[in-house]
Amino acid sequence: MSSSPFHGLSAFPPTPADIHGRVDTQALSRLLERLCEAGVASIGLLGSTGIYAYLTREERRRAVEAAVECVGGRVPLVVGIGALRTDHAQDLARDAEAAGANALLLAPVSYTPLTQEEVYQHFLAVAETTRLPLCIYNNPGTTHFTFTRELLQRLSHIETIRAVKMPLPADGDLRGELAALREKTNLAIGYSGDWGAAEALLSGADAWYSVLGGLLPRTALALTKTAMSGNGDETQRLAGLLQPLWETFKAFGSIRVVYMLVEHLSLGRAELPRPLLPLNPVDRQRVLDAARPLIAQEMGLTPQSLL
């Protein structure tokens, strides 16, 4: 295993599970096999679209064990260990390490809004329970916590905290944000929010934490490599092809889109955890129209042959 878990394309697959939240480890392994074969830099297991927040400790352990067995060291496995309680996040860190994960992804999940100090102490307590490198999962859209740059700087002094997964900056100033974070921290800096990924990589980000990469890894890898090579024109062209799908991510939430596509790709059944609902027929059709040419490209087929 040569690649860093926090550089390049980190592919975040959905976690196939039944309506009761029981993980389908066979379907999960089929998804992971595709990622390994495509050659992604790392796999982000149990991210937000991997429904970590909706799965029990036991099911999360089953998912990690199945993933370690399937991946077999070919690609670094980064495992989401977010939980509302600090002790639960610590339990999940120990479980993931014992199961053979290579790195951890920690989101400051909140119910009562958290202070900067509370999140610092939360990360410190979790870091102290594991030897694995940690990535800060900065996703205010789901955790409802906003990291200050001062907090990121403070967290970067904890030895095993090595990376941060950032949301796209509200003001669009990726270069400014990257410069500010590089000045304050030595963290590897990656971005989520697929529609801004190409721009983030062109601006010098270290990684793309990618929902698309979890389903269509070759397509996402082509974009990643082109952008990281600095080829702006070709990056824009590839990103343009993905735009219709990303518009559905923005309109419906990427989780509802990717769960629908797992089945469409014949990779198994994947039920959204209720209260999340499947898309209605009109919205499904819009996703299919956007995804069909991409799936064809991924499979090496022409759009016509899929119709």
Q: Which is nearer to a copy of itself, 63 or 222 (CB)?
A: 63
| Residue 141 engages a copy of itself in binding (rule: CB under 8 A) | yes
Token pair for 173? 């100033």
Torsion angle defined by CA atoms of residues 217, 218, 223 and 228, in that order, rounded to the nearest 10 degrees: 90
What does the per-residue mask of binding to a copy of itself show for 149-188, with x meaning CB under 8 A?
A: ----------------------------------------
Catalytic-residue membership of 259: no
Which residue among 22, 29, 36, 54 contacts a copy of itself (CB under 8 A)? Answer: 54
| Residue 53 engages a copy of itself in binding (rule: CB under 8 A) | yes
The answer to whether the annotation marks 224 as part of a ligand binding site is no
Token pair for 238? 């590839």
Catalytic-residue membership of 165: yes
Token pair for 281? 């027929």
Which residues fall within 8 angstroms of residue 50, CB to CB, at 6 or more apart?
12, 13, 14, 15, 44, 63, 80, 214
φ, ψ of residue 46 to 5 degrees: the values are 60, 45
Find the part of the chain contacting a copy of itself (CB under 8 A) among 72-80, 149-157, 242-250, 267-275: 267-275
φ, ψ of residue 16 to 5 degrees: the values are -65, 130
What does the per-residue mask of binding to a copy of itself show for 4-43, with x meaning CB under 8 A?
A: ---------------xxx----------------------
DSSP 278: P
Tally the residues of the chain. 307
Residue 59, Cβ density class (10 Å: 0-12 exposed, 13-18 middle, ≥19 buried): buried
Q: Which is nearer to a copy of itself, 51 or 223 (CB)?
A: 51
How many angstroms separate the CA atoms of 8 and 207, rounded? 4
What does the per-residue mask of binding to a copy of itself show for 90-129, with x meaning CB under 8 A?
A: ------------------xx-xxxxx-xxx-xx--x----
Token pair for 45? 């297991």
Binding residues for a copy of itself (CB under 8 A): 19-21, 48, 53-54, 84-87, 108-109, 111-115, 117-119, 121-122, 125, 141-142, 144, 253, 255, 273-277
Q: Which residues are annotated as a binding site for pyruvate?
A: 49
- Catalytic amino acids? 137, 165
